[in-house]
Every structure is written in C-alpha cells, then in structure tokens.
Chain A
Amino acid sequence: MKISRDTLQKYFEKPLPSTAEIADAYTFHAFEIDSIEGDVLDVKVLPNRAADCNSEAGLARELSAILAVPTTAPHPSGASLPPVTVSLAQINYILGSDFSHSEVEDVFKRLGLETKIEGDTFTITPPSSRPDIAIPEDLVEEVGRILGYDRVSAIELPPIALPDQRRFRGIERIRDFLAERDFTEISTQSFAKQGEVTLANPLDETKPALRASLEQGIKAAVMGAEQYAPLVLGPNDEPNLFEIGTVFTTAGEKIYLALSKPVPELNTVLKIEPTSRAEIIHYDLSEVALEDLGRDYVPASYALGAYKPFSVYPFIVRDIALWVPAGTESKTILEVIRKEAGSLLVRSELFDTFEKAGRISYAFRLVFQSFEKTLTDGEVNAVMAGVSTEVKTRGWEPR
C-alpha cells in the first residue's frame, strides 16, 4: 500500500522523522518497503496484518507503536477476539532475550492492546482487526519485532554428538569417483516433453511432464558439450558427462545416475548393474545402499574462484603446425602466438609433437571468440596471417 509522509503526518501532532527513517522503522519492526519515491512509501503489508494495516489509519497506528509517539488515529472498534496469555519467561525463552517486565508492558500499550497484567503474565484481548493474535507465540512476535530483533543476540547451539550423514557421503563418493575419471557433473531440467507424471498447470506447455528418465536431458547436454568442447577442454580431451537426479515414474520417484560413457568399475562400487547400456548408461541409485557406500567416506573439498562469464557468440577454431629447430620449446612459441593474436584468442594449446631430421613439428589449436560480436572467417584469417608472418620472422616454418 502506498502512503506518503504527509499523509501519515495528519495522524500525528508531533512532527514525524524523515521519510527514510520512517521506512527503516517499518522495515525493521513491521513491513518491508517495496519502494520509496519522494516522500511516498510503498509498504508491503504482510498478509496476516491485512485486516488492520491496509489503511492510512492502520499504518499510522503501526508507526505510532514502533516510534512510541502518540497518534490521533482512532483505535479500531468492534467485537473482541478471545484473550491470549503469555508470560515474561515464555517471551524470553523463545526469543533468547532478556526483555524486562516494563518493556513488555510498554509494547502492548504502544500497540493499543487491551492488557491485563497478573504478576509475570500478560493477558491480551485483541480487537477483531487483529486475528493474527491467537496464540502466545503471536504475542512473543509482537514483543520481538517492536522492541527490535537487533536486541536478540547471536548465541551458538551447544555441541551435540556427531550426526549421521552417510547417505550424503555415499552420493558424494559417487561424484568424486566420476570426477577423478574426468567426468563433469551437470544438472538439467526436471520438466520434459513426455513422461509418466504430468503437471496440471505446466509453466512451459511444450514440457508438460516430469522426466521419467535422465536420457533426454543428458543427451542434449552431450550435444552441447561436444559443440563447446574446444572452449573448455584440451584438443585431445572429450567431454564425459554425468547427472544424478530424480526421475518420476508411475511406480514412484527414484534417484538415477546417467553417464555419457560406460565406467565398468562403477558396477563394483555401486554393487549393481546399469539398467540400460545404450548410448547413455543409467543406474537406479534407489537400489544402491548409499548409507553403506558413505560409511567413513570423507568427500573431496574444492575451493572455487570467481565465476568468469562466457561469451554467447560463436567461436572459430584454427590449427597451426610449425617446423622449428630442435631445442625450441613449445611454450616459447605459444607466447609469441598469444602476443600476436591478441584478445580474440581465448584458448591456445599444443596438441601434437614429433621430431624429424633435427627439427621438431609442433601443432597448436587456437580458439577465437569475441565478447562483442560474431567473428567472421575474414577477421580470423587476418589474425592468422599476422601470426604466420610473426613466426616466420623468428625462423619458424609453418607447415
């Protein structure tokens, strides 16, 4: 609901603080502020407070309670709801706080709630506009948010016995096993063109079902991986993919492992045979004793650096082979090529070497790509011509 500082001011005799301070008051004690434009706040009234706060007077009353400044907005009349009782001890042992009796008393007063105090207990009779106050915990929330959650300190839980994480460790063991064999894990969409379980309200009408197999997802990923392999893998490497994911069948939900290439020794680890050995290999991990697999296993840990976004434009691959005198190191040549080729060269690697008659032949794979546009053959040809000229001046002979 949108409301301006001027509008709120109509309900207060004392001048209100700045718009920014009012926004903070709501944010940390009642409701999120979706936006501030000039002195207009867009207050996101929570659904459980719709009955009393979706009005100018309601928001003014709420602000009055937060700031502890009296308002002229009338308190809602009408029937009362059943009384709710909470004790000071209960408030403090739920919040982990040390609020005092007088602070709590003051909160209920500021909120304009009819309160009966007997020793350490507070009995509130909420007006009909506060149906969100029905159980003691609702009153605990009123105290916590009005006094401020910044007054709840951060306390760690006491230690307990080491928990059971064997199933998790079992799945991690499979992941590590495949990663050690140069497999790359991917995750694909659970929605599919066809399946045994269908959505009543699909987001994408072309994929109305839940996958009954990982086959389609991983096949599409393999096609993509083969296409993009020169960007991420060496010239002599091929992409091996696997996915571990849930599939949905009429017989129930299962966890499957799908591989783009067979790994025979995996059968020994999993103690099962694959369910299919076609182009994509599938294992039903629901049949695997994951807890046994994970017993005493310590998963590998990886530290990742910052993510480097990739270019969405196509790349161009060029190979160059050179005769050089024996004793010339490939990395020296690569440095020359990289310097000459400039920033369009995104990947460059040696992929073949042989010696003949006192000379060495090196073959390098060069991958070109721009972050700004689709490169043309002409542009790459020009770069390659420059590379060729440069290597010749060093006495290296392109083959």
Chain B
Amino acid sequence: MGFSIAYGPELETDWYNFTALNIPPNHPARSMQDTFWIKDQKDKVLRTHTTSVSVRELEKLAKSGGTEMRVINPGKVFRNEATDMTHEAQFYQLDGFAVGPTESVTLAQLKGTLERFYREYLGEDAKVRFRPSFFGFTEPSVEIDVWFTPLGKEPRWLEMSGAGMFHPNVLRNAGLDPEKMQGFAFGGGLERLLMVKYGIPDVRLFHSGDIRFVYGFDEKTI
C-alpha cells in the first residue's frame, strides 16, 4: 500500500512525544497516559507511543518540500502502569499515517487502509468499524474495532487501535501548512494483535526472554 517503515528514539523529548502532538502541558490527554519521566533530564520521557516518530517524519517531509507521505512506525513504547496478563510497562506499537494535499487523504481511506490490513492479517471476514474518541493529535478521532474470528472462538468485535485525521496543529508543528495538507493517523499495540491472532494468554511473555514462549508456535517458512 506504499507505506515506508520509519524508526525513532525510545528516549524522546517532551516536544515530540507530547507538545508537537497538540498535547501541551496540562492537556487532558496527558493524564490518559502514564508516562515515565527521566531523572535530571526534565525534557525527556520514555516515549508513550510511536506517534513521536510520525512528527519526525512529517518534519522531514516539510523540509523536503514534498506533498505526500505514507509511513508506519513500529517500535517499543513505555507506560508506567501496573502489569498483569493484559498490561505490560513496555510493549510494541504500530503507528502509521498517510498525508497528502487537501482533499486527497480522507477518513474513508483510513477505513479502507485498515480494513485491507486486517483482512490480510486476520482473515477475509475481518472488517472495521469506527467509534468516536478523543486524542490530542487527531480531529476527528476514532476508536477502531475489528470484527474477526479468534482461533477456536466465535467471531467478535475487538478494540484494536486509535486513529483519526491529523489535527491541524500537528501538521503546523511539523512545519507543514494545514490549509494545503491533510492526512490520517492510526496506532495500536502489536502484542494485543498477536495475542488475539495466535491465542497468547499473557502479554508479559513477549519480553520475558523465555524460550518456552518462543518455541510455543508451530512454524513453517513461506
């Protein structure tokens, strides 16, 4: 679908993790994420999402004078929250975005992109629905539910990620003109996607270094 893969730092500045994403200090969205702050470096955080990489990529687009970009940013993110079977303080996120000239990249195309991804990854019966939500860096903002059949279970709707259309302030903060550009962005946990696809019971297995987990799958090269 034309997406390139981008990487960025895990130890991120407050600007790229929050402020550039239209989440200034005291913004309600900051209290929605439990952030690890760094001792003696007031400006640094462990990134709470890889959306920070999106801003860095949008800046590159602005500097190059380009008008179109599609990127995914897979990477490790961190949240300061108690761990259990479904919560881990470090996990992988797959963030991504597509931007283009005004009128060119729409919420309908976000739905089309995600639906194709989930159909290819989870199965032909997969489909996507949107529910209203709120994130600082998108307007409108939506939650993504995916309909599919987990192994050995009945088909169901599962909440998979958050998404929306880039907030004009995010494009502006990256040096782009929101009057001339628009685009969609999405992001969700990767472990959760793997857990539902393969029937993995505990998210803490992924970063445990335990080979019993790695060998828990039948595997064939394709």
Residues of A at the B interface (CB closer than 8 Å) are 27-32, 46-50, 93-97, 135, 137-138, 140-141, 144-145, 149-150, 152-157, 159-165, 167-168, 184-191, 197-203, 210, 217-218, 220-221, 224-225, 228-229, 231-233, 239, 241, 243, 245-246, 248, 253, 300-310
CA distance A162 to B5 in the complex (A): 12
Given contacts A203-B80, A306-B151, A309-B201, contact A159 B2 (CB under 8 A): yes
Contact pick for A307, options B102, B128, B200, CB 8 Å? B200
Q: Which of B2, B106, B132 has the most CB of A within 10 A?
A: B132
Chain A proximity mask over B99-137: 1 for CB below 8 Å, otherwise 0: 000110111110111011000000000001111111000
Q: Which of B199-222 contact A (CB under 8 A)?
A: 199-201, 206-222
Query: Which of A30, A97, A167, A228 lies in contact with B108, CB distance below 8 A?
Result: A97
CB of A140 to closest CB in B, whole Å: 6
Interface presence of B175 (CB below 8 A): no
Interface centre among B108, B143, B199, B200, by most chain A C-beta atoms within 10 angstroms, is B108
Q: Residue on B with the closest CB to A246?
A: B10
Residues A302 and B182 in contact, CB atoms below 8 Å apart: no
Measured CA separation A161–B205 after assembly (Å): 38
Q: Does B9 contact A (CB under 8 A)?
A: yes
Task: Provide 26 A-B residue pairs closer than 8 Å at the C-beta atoms, listed in order of the A residue.
Answer: A47-B134, A141-B140, A149-B132, A154-B115, A155-B106, A155-B111, A156-B112, A159-B1, A159-B2, A160-B2, A163-B70, A184-B211, A185-B214, A188-B207, A190-B10, A197-B39, A199-B38, A201-B36, A203-B81, A217-B209, A221-B210, A224-B211, A302-B220, A305-B217, A307-B200, A309-B201
Query: How far is the CB of B110 from the nearest CB of chain A, in Å?
Result: 8
Find out whether the CB atom of B109 lies under 8 angstroms from the CB atom of A96: yes
> Closest chain B residue to A247 by CB distance?
B10
In angstroms, how far is the closest chain B Cβ from the Cβ of A231?
6
In whole angstroms, what is the CA distance A189 to B203 when docked?
A: 13
Is there contact, CB below 8 Å, between A28 and B131?
yes
**Residue numbers in B under 8 Å from A307 (CB-CB):** 198-201, 216-217
- B10, A141: Cβ atoms closer than 8 Å: no
Q: B200's closest neighbor in chain A, by CB?
A: A307
B189 interface contact, C-beta 8 A? no
The residue in chain A whose Cβ has the minimal distance to the Cβ of B198 is A307
Determine whether B53 belongs to the interface, using a CB cutoff of 8 Å to chain A.
no
Chain A interface, DSSP helix/strand/loop, else mixed = mixed
One digit per residue, 1 when the CB lies within 8 angstroms of any chain A CB and 0 when it does not, for chain B 36-59 equals 111111000010000000000000
B93 contacts partner chain A, Cβ-Cβ < 8 Å = no
**B29 in the interface (beta carbon within 8 A):** yes
Other A-B pairs beyond A149-B129, A228-B210, A229-B211, 11, CB < 8 Å:
A27-B131, A47-B28, A140-B140, A149-B107, A155-B108, A156-B113, A157-B109, A188-B208, A224-B211, A245-B76, A307-B201
Judge if B64 is at the interface, Cβ distance under 8 Å: no
Q: B-side binding surface: helix, strand, loop or mixed?
A: mixed
- Interface residues of chain B, those whose CB is within 8 Å of chain A, are 1-5, 7, 9-11, 28-29, 31-32, 36-41, 46, 68, 70, 76, 78, 80-83, 89-90, 98, 102-103, 105-109, 111-113, 115-116, 128-134, 139-143, 151-152, 165, 167-168, 182, 198-201, 206-222
Would you call B107 and A152 a contact (CB within 8 A)? yes
What 9 pairs across the A-B complex have the smallest Cβ distances? Answer: A96-B108, A96-B106, A221-B209, A163-B4, A305-B218, A141-B140, A47-B28, A149-B130, A232-B215
Q: Which residue of A lies closest to B27 (CB)?
A: A47
Q: How far is the CA of A197 from the CA of B45 in the complex (A)?
A: 11
Q: Does B107 lie within 8 Å of A153, measured CB to CB?
A: no
- Which residues of A sit under 8 angstroms from B206, Cβ to Cβ? 187
B165 touches A137 (CB 8 A): yes
Q: Measured between alpha carbons, how far is A155 from B104 in the docked complex, in Å?
A: 12
